[in-house]
Each structure stands twice: as structure tokens, then as C-alpha cells.
Chains A and B, each alone.
Chain A
């Protein structure tokens, strides 16, 4: 049985969680097994969607304490389910929760972990072999997991989501958290104001701008382009460091690493540390006024020229395209 950890966000099953269930289903196929998904504080439609993604069984837990993002409580819950179900392979998304819970579980269950898988695993005797991205996207490494229990967390946006018509059986589970000695006390939560945009790690379309924009007052056209495309905005590191844009928009080696379908880089030179966080994007468009800008060497499409005239034209072209689509 393949155990998959899922999360609900803003009333929906996270896309990253659907990817993880699909991925689990693929391993189930390879190992002649089935997928059991863990659903935390999920309602009936959400559980139904997990079934459609390929879960045969859903272990449903209702416990408000688990809404706190405390990885100690979450990990104890998953550990109890893994033991009760006899899970040998556990799948997470390599997202913020997955990065906190999967490693703790690895330590608790003595389970080898590959964090950030970019491909489906293959089976080699008792071992699983799976590729993960290393050196900030500059290479991949083929890992072998040699322990009895194995954990894989998958890089978001690396696997397509497919929904079928499978329906899962649901069982209720109560985790005993009385022995979990967490001392974390929650004070306040602030949500990043992204104006209804999809968060960067999950975004399929990203519009990003750099120091070439000259100042924060010029971001209006960047936001407009993003709005037309229903894309999420990002920026280079100096732009975040100078507080032209919020820190959560900073992409690159020391910021968020993303792999959207489309990355549009405007007034960004393409320094190696910037590329490290974005070169997994499927298609890259670069708009830059310097024909020597290194980014053109890592782009699929380029426009040489002044962003201040090109971006408004691009907005118009997209509007026209959308009008023709309808």
C-alpha cells in the first residue's frame, strides 16, 4: 500500500496533493498495490476529489489541532497511520509542509527519504530508484532508497494532474496526540497579499521583473501583464532586497525555486544564481534591452528592446489573443 499525505488549502485539495496522489497511483501500478490517502479536516467533496485522483482508500482525520501547521503534530499523525496501515512507501509533496513533516517522519520510522523527486521511481530488487534535482537545478541525481520503509516527496509542478472516475472508501481515524510534547504556541498569521494570485510554487504562469524596471513605481505594467495572463508575479533578488517588491516574490538560488510552464523575465540579466531557481521552467521568454544579457542564452523566446514600450504592447497582444479565443 502506498500512503499519500494531502492538504486542503482555501477550501480545495491542494494541486500539489493531487499530484502526489497521482504519483502514488503510478507507484501502486508498478508495485501491484493501491493508494491510501490521508485527509486532514477534509469535507465530502474534497475527499471525492482525492478518490478521482486515484486514492482507493481515504483515512479521514478530524482534529482542529492539526490546523496549526505544527510539524510535530502532523508527523505524529502520519506516523500512527503509517503504522496502522503497514505503509512501506509514503509520498508527500515537496512543499512547505512536506519539507517539515517528511524528514521528521524519516527520522522516526528509519525510512530513507528522497526530497524533491522529479521523475517516477523504478524498482530495483528491494530498493526504489528515483531522480531528484540537485545543485539548484543544474543537474539531477539518481538516488537509491535502501531502507525497508521509503519516503518520496515530489517537486511541485513536475507531474500533470489527472482525474478519473475512481471512488474511494473512507475510514475515520483518530490520532492520539497526547504524548506529543509540542511547545509551539501560535500568536498570529499574516497572509501574503497576492491579490487572489496562485502562490508562486504552484503557479503555472509567472511574470517576473528585475532591476531593469528602474523602480517600484514602474511595476504597474508588470502587474497588468500578470493579470491578463492570470499569472503570478515574481522578481529578482536585488528587487526584493531594495524592498521594491515583497520578499516572497524573490526567485532563484537563495529565493523560491519554481518550475512553471511559462516564465517571462523582464529586465533581469540572468545571473547564474537567478537561473538556478527558474531554469526548470518549461518555456522561458526574456525581454531585455541588452543583446549581451546572459539570460538570452537560457531562453526559448527573446525580445530585444525597452521593457517600457514592449510590456504594454505585450499586454495589448494578449488582450487581442484572448478576445479571438472567445
Chain B
């Protein structure tokens, strides 16, 4: 696997929270979704990956470089959007662009102002007067205007209306389309991001509880809807999240291929049907089970 970002046994300790032994890889040309409930450690991990805070232990390599050896080069090649993006809030958007331009080797001012226009962010406005969503869009415009090869995004859709959320998701798809650039995006809601993520990583209590490619994941996690009595009790016992509904029962399996044979008769008789699980279902099931 050609990894654009690798994290090995990353640890971070806070008074009431710790990130323990987190290892993660982001493939070149892919979008990796980092999901988990509030307080799972997504933001801490993202900040470590973007070198915003130091890790207590472990190693992070981006483009094959460690931050210790190549911080400037790495930061020239990544675009980072924080959960609550920091700015010089008393300065204008235009001032912010002038401030950052000299630091990036490949700053593209015309592209930046084009994005501002698309995002309807007034360059003459002070950052203080932008809404939370507009600050996110400004941060995204900055991240997309210096030829970044890796985007590290923390809750990028928070505060965005449906139109901009769609636009953001489209941009991310386009960003990785050439197969050379990658995105890692953290979110506590799967809201749209599950559609574009190719690799899924679920974090719970500072640990990664699952990291798989989405296709593989979706081929295993399925909802089984069945008529009462259509499945043997042993099969039903292997389902989780059982729901008894007036028109039939439902249960979630995390290993559909292993159940396929046991379900064959009920499926062919029309007494059961299979439905793809949503990432949110998987996340909830894993978190409840963790």
C-alpha cells in the first residue's frame, strides 16, 4: 500500500483523556474517514497528524518524512482545517491571504479568491465578523490554495448548510480524483462523509476500534430483515441490534459472508432480505459493543 501518511503507536495523555497506541495509514489517492463519538480523540489525533500538538510517544510520517526532519516541507504539502479554525480575528480575510502567501512555496492567490467567491466569503470582512461556517470555508480555501497533496480536515461539515456541505463533498471527491492526493477527514457524524470515504476508521475512547476499506466493510455489515420464525435461533443469535417490528424482525450482522449459507433458504423463499448497513449503524454497533 502506498501510504501518504503513517502514524505508529501514537500516544497522547491529557488529565482526563488519553490516546493510546493509535496506528493509522492513509493511502495515496484515497479519502479516509475518521469517525467516532464526541470525546473519542478524533481532534487530538488529527492535531497530532497535522503537527498542531506534539504526541507523547509514537511516530508520524507524512510523504515519508517525519515532522522532526521535514516540518516545513510537510506543511507546504498539507492543507489543514481545524475544528475551530484559528485566525487573526481582528484582521480581514484579504489580510489573512497576504499574511500566509509568503510562507507557501506554491501559493495561488487567484485560486484562493476564486474559492472565496464560490464560497461567498467577502475578502474585505474581518474574520471576527464571519460566521462559524464561513470561517470553515475560509480555512478550506486556504488549505486548497497552495497545492496541498494531503488535506487533514477536522469536522469540516460542521456549521455548513446543505448547499456548502454538498459543494465540500464534491470538492473532496475532485481533490483525490487524480489518484495522487489524499484526504483524511474526522467527524462525529457520518453525514455525507460516509459516501465519499474509501477507508473508514472508527475511534472510541482514544483507541481505534476498526480500520477497514469501506467496500470490504459494507460487504460484511448487513441488515437482515426476516419474518418471525424464518431463521433458526442459532442464526438469530448471531445478529445484533435486533429490532422486533410489526412487519418483521431485523438484525445486524458484521460477518454476512459467514451467514450467507445459513440464510440461503430464507432468502430464496422470500422470508428474509438483506440490506446494506449504513456506516452510522456500524459505528453505533461498534461503540455500544466496545
Do these two chains interact? no
Name A's B-contacting residues (CB within 8 A). Answer: none
